[in-house]
Amino acid sequence: MKLEYRNSIIIFTILLLVLSSCKENKASENDLETQKNYVKVITNGMDFEMVDEVKSGWTTFRYTNKSNEPHFFILEKMPNTLGIETYKKDLFPPFTLAFEHFEKGEIEAGMKEFEKIPEWFYKVELAGGVGLTSKKTTSKSTIFLEPGTYVMECYVRMPNGMPHTFMGMVKELKVIEETNGNKAPKADYNIDIASEKGITFVDSLKTGDHTFSVKFKDQKQYEHLMGHDVNLVKIENDSLTTILGNWLNTVDFKAFRTPVPDGLLFLGGVEDLPAGKTGYFEANLEKGSYVLISEIPNAVERKMIKTFSVY
């Protein structure tokens, strides 16, 4: 009996040590996340799971897409004191009706709905965000957030053409006056993007973890009523660039729908920023062929695409 008792005490002691170690490791992980100042954003289906408020300044979003669909999010700084309730009330009806008409082939009727868009919509400032991210993939992007109220959305389209925004992928984010004190990341490589020169980048680089800066030399509104951005895509072969460009052509109502064409892996990037602004994103690159591309109409023809290799 004494031997059994002693063995029980030893086993119990070992269990306590293991549990204590787990707690310490968990605490260390949490401390590390805090030190890196990540704002965690998680998508499980058609949602954004995250905090409602952050401090102003350089902000890194760690976006984990746990769903089976590709997603992204762009931040739109609202004018004055407007928020998500106004956004939904004023914009959801004309946009949803327009897309319903488009799906039926009623283009003129759909365009007529856009005339109901309120004036304040044209004062919204595009403020960056995380580029296209494939299913079961995590992306990280860093942008400078000014104080204000933002609406974040994903408008990748369902198989029936309806944007994810109207399926629940829209959220309000408050950025308060207090600053977070963060500094801009140190970039390993720089990407330039401009409406005339397109995307400028190196032809090749080594495998590993890299931080990229994206400098917006200018900005303009294209046919899809948005500006240019930069998305990183791993492609199985170079012949997919045309397919990729066609899929990103959102003025084609049949484009930008799921499922994504085979052979494309979206690894994040930086969404639309104003002229003169810089955003950052991180990526772990394995050997293979990659593309930097903007989600605009006729991206290939407009030189808004840059292929490069990783060795």
Separation of alpha carbons 194 and 200, rounded Å: 9
Report the distance separating Cα 148 and Cα 170, nearest Å: 17
Residue 276's identity, in one-letter code, is G
Residue 235 tokens, joined: 């492609």
Q: Report the pLDDT value the prediction gives residue 1, as an integer from 0 to 100.
A: 42
- Percent above pLDDT 90 for the chain: 81
Domains of the chain: 38-78+124-310 (2.60.40.420)
Give the 3-state secondary structure of residue 147: coil
Closest to 199 measured CA to CA, from 286, 131, 99, 247: 131
Q: Tell me the C-alpha distance between 231 and 270, whole Å.
A: 7
Q: Give yes or no for a contact between 168 and 92, defined as CB atoms under 8 angstroms apart.
A: no
Residues 28-87: pLDDT tens digits?
Answer: 333 334 335 799 999 999 999 999 999 999 999 999 999 999 999 999 999 988 999 999
Residue 154 in contact with residue 134, Cβ under 8 Å? no
233: closest CA among 208, 262, 207, 269? 269
Cα–Cα distance measured from residue 49 to residue 65, given in angstroms and rounded to the nearest whole number: 10
Residue 36 pLDDT: 52
Report the distance separating Cα 37 and Cα 43, nearest Å: 19
Give the number of other Cβ atoms within 10 Å of residue 288's Cβ.
14
Q: What is the mean pLDDT of each run of 10 residues along the chain (311 residues)?
A: 39 37 39 59 97 97 97 96 94 92 90 91 95 98 98 96 95 97 97 97 98 97 93 94 95 94 97 98 97 96 96 97
Q: What is the distance between the alpha carbons of residues 156 and 164, in angstroms, rounded to a whole number?
A: 6
| CA neighbor of 271 nearest in space, from 161, 117, 120, 125 | 125
d(CA 10, CA 4): 10
Strand partners, 153: 74, 170
CB-based contact 152:48 (threshold 8 Å): yes
Q: Answer positive or negative: Cα dihedral of 210, 211, 215, 219.
A: positive
